[in-house]
Amino acid sequence: MREFNRNAKHPDIDLIQLALTRAGYQPGRIDGIFGMRTMGALNAFRRGRDMAQPERITTGDWTALTPFLTGYVRRTVREGDTLFRLAQEFRTTVEAIRTANPDIHSEHLRAGALLTIPLGFDIVPTQIRFTSTALYYVVRGLTARYPKIERETIGQSVSGREIPVLRFGAGRHAVSFNAAHHGNEWITTPVLLKFLEDYAKAEAQNKQLVSQDANVLHTMSTLHLIPMVNPDGVDIATGALDQGPDYEYATYLAGNYPHIPFPRGWKANNRGVDPNLQYPAGWEKAKEIKFAQGFTKPGPRDYVGQSALSEPESRALYDYTLRHDFYLTMSYHSQGKVIYWRYLDHLPPGSEEIGRIFAKLSGYTLEETPLVSGHAGYKDWFILHYDRPSYTIEVGQGESPLPLSQFGEIYKDNKGMLEIALIIQAP
């Protein structure tokens, strides 16, 4: 992991501050700045572990703080250990330990066995800028604490960052949710990850998710969640990518469109291509529209690329979709509190009725996609290819990237809709 000197400012420092807060120290407001208060909290953390106290964040600090980002530790069973004692030691619950270790015999723990011990907080952070590094820790944590969540890498970004999918469920009714096709719409990633965490927790505890029994949902359906389609774009937009050849190239491409603020206006991948203008559904028409708007070469947004599916991010999601029999898909974007439900005159059976249910649950408006943005998107291709329901969900209000202060409202608006999407079918 990257090291930082005093007074550095970077989204990865958000993670250090988050971990220190979870560990019981006081780094101050999570602001991504390695200032005096964060330094003091880090040194207090170090003293408790007999660590050196240099004037920088080191790889050793990252290693020591990792459990407070992934939400678990590994612990070898000792003679006399019981689940109750372990739960007390790590301030967690017996049920959480059992969930993370489904093969253990809780009445007779075997000395020498290695256990996963969840810590006493939720994993998905909702108060930090979400980057590919944050995603890495969250994916590790969710799959460790909830072994029923399966992980697969479906491809890599232009810069080689992994694009993971998380699967949860045992039913034949398959649905797919994706987020962060666009870099500066990264707030959609924690929305979907928080939903998955709440779902997995409710299933483990035999509780309702929102209005449905989580065990029933898990038995009936399988969720395929792609939380960050465009990790390079996210890291550019958040400032996590701020040095090196990839950053220099992004800066160069941003110069093609000086009226678009950089980096916060960045939606594209690291070749300056919009991943959600890459799918084989009117791609030539999308090119005509975007060229007429002036987006004729790579840049922060709205460039369609050299051909459909030329970009690895879009190709990864396309290929993964072809390998599965999804009944319904939902693509998360920001902003506008709008649900887009159709592609041209293609009307999959039940799609409007399902869209109206989604609108009622969320309070969002059900609308047809505007012509200027109504081609070459993932939703458009899924509808065209499968004749099944697919939706683009535009969360929140304002200019992207949306402030984290909107997260609570966004999640509240969408949680019920995401739940029903797991089991709903055409009337």
Question: Which are the catalytic amino acids?
Answer: 394
H or E stretch including 395? Answer: strand 390-395
Q: Which residue in 7, 9, 18 sits closest to 62, CA to CA?
A: 18
> Which run of H or of E encompasses 177?
strand 173-179
Sheet holding 173-179, edge to edge: 150-156, 162-169, 221-226, 173-179, 326-334, 390-395, 338-340, 365-367
Q: C-alpha 130: how far from its chain's center? A: 8
Instruction: Find out whether 209 and 198 touch, Cβ atoms under 8 Å.
Output: yes
Q: From 124, 144, 169, 159, select the one nearest 15 (Cα to Cα).
A: 124
Nearest Cα to 263, choosing from 129, 394, 373, 135? 129
The β-bridge relationship of strands 114-118 and 173-179 is unpaired
| Alpha-carbon gap, residue 427 to 424, rounded angstroms | 9
**Angstrom distance (rounded) from CA 400 to CA 375:** 21
C-alpha distances (whole Å) from 422 to each of 131, 174, 354, 418 are 27, 8, 12, 7
Q: What is the dihedral sign for C-alpha 282, 287, 293, 298?
A: positive
